[in-house]
């Protein structure tokens, strides 16, 4: 049986890391603040992957974002996925050459699926994560792109059908209604997944404590759970959450901290 995963998501806006609540952004701190409060050389032992999304609305400083991704990859031994504003194979290359293991695409799904195919040909489908932002309106799940500003004409099930036909490695399914609330995941989103959907699912939006992560992992349709709630998991929050999950026998990877530290020392 494949291991399930716990993923930490960092939201990046115009040079700073931010909190998001229903896609309204609040600045928290710059890269120095992040390094001070989140020692990723240590936190890496308690999460399985890191996702970094540039949610800047307006002109993005792509070079600076790549530099910050590069700094994060130096501190972490776990896989890192990066995205936000990818519109071309060249931009995907820049992020991957900055140390990212995967790229996250969103608006590209509607604007230019051909570019997704180009990335897959160059690097393989396993390195592409499709991010889908969903809002419930009149009891229907609607899909939004461009940082949650443009509503697509297709409902969620049809959108996921389209994604299933693209060379996508994973789906990042994010509830805009639950985003940043810390009230738990929106499990009804999973009911919209087509029966023949073959792509692993990362559930996001709403996690604020250990119990929310465990509830997500309990669902057989979920391969990984994600949280972007910086303050609920500051300090040793992620460490305590993972240790509780392992204590409760969730099927997560177990890292031997001592062996990894010995390996790091040999590389220095």
The CATH number linked to 157 is: 3.20.20.70
Would the pLDDT of 70 be above 60?
yes
pLDDT tens digits, one per residue of 167-192: 999 999 999 999 999 999 999 999 99
Please write the tens of the pLDDT for every residue from 20-68: 999 999 999 999 999 888 888 888 889 999 999 999 998 999 999 999 9
pTM summary value: 0.94
- Compute the distance between CA of residue 164 and CA of residue 195 in angstroms, rounded to an integer: 11
> Which residue out of 133, 188, 191, 218 is catalytically annotated?
133
- Residue 265, pLDDT > 80, answer no
DSSP assignment of 210-250: HHHHHHHHHSTT-SEEEE--TTTTTTTHHHHHHHHHHHTT-
Burial degree of 202 (CB within 10 A; 0-12, 13-18, 19+): buried
The number of folded domains in the chain is 1
Q: Which two tokens stand for residue 46?
A: 């308690």
For residue 153, count other CB atoms closer than 10 A to its CB.
9
Q: What is the pLDDT of residue 32?
A: 92
Instruction: Clarify whether 133 is annotated catalytic.
Output: yes
Domain limits at 9?
5-267
């Amino acid at each position: 049986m494949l291991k399930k995963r716990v993923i930490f998501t960092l939201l990046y806006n115009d040079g700073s890391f931010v909190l998001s609540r229903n896609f309204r952004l609040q600045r928290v701190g710059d890269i120095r603040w992040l390094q001070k409060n989140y020692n990723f050389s240590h936190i890496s032992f308690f999460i399985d992957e890191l996702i970094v999304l540039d949610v800047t609305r307006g002109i993005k400083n792509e070079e600076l974002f790549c530099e910050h991704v590069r700094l994060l990859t130096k501190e972490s031994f776990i896989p890192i996925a990066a995205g936000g504003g990818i519109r071309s194979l060249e931009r995907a290359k820049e992020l991957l050459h900055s140390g990212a293991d995967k790229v996250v695409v969103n608006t590209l799904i509607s604007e230019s699926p051909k570019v997704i195919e180009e990335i897959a040909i160059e690097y393989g489908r396993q390195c592409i994560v499709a991010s889908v932002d969903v809002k419930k309106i009149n009891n229907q799940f609607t899909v939004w792109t461009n940082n949650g500003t443009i509503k697509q004409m297709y409902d969620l099930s049809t959108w996921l059908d389209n994604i299933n036909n693209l060379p996508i490695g994973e789906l990042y399914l994010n509830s805009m209604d639950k985003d940043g609330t810390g009230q738990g995941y929106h499990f009804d989103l999973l009911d919209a997944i087509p029966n023949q959907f073959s792509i692993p699912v990362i559930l996001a939006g709403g996690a604020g404590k250990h119990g929310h992560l465990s509830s997500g992992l309990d669902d057989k349709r979920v391969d990984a759970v994600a949280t972007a709630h910086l303050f609920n998991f500051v300090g040793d929050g992620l460490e305590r959450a993972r240790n509780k999950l392992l204590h409760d026998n969730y099927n997560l990877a177990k890292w031997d901290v001592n062996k990894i530290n010995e390996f790091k020392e040999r590389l220095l």
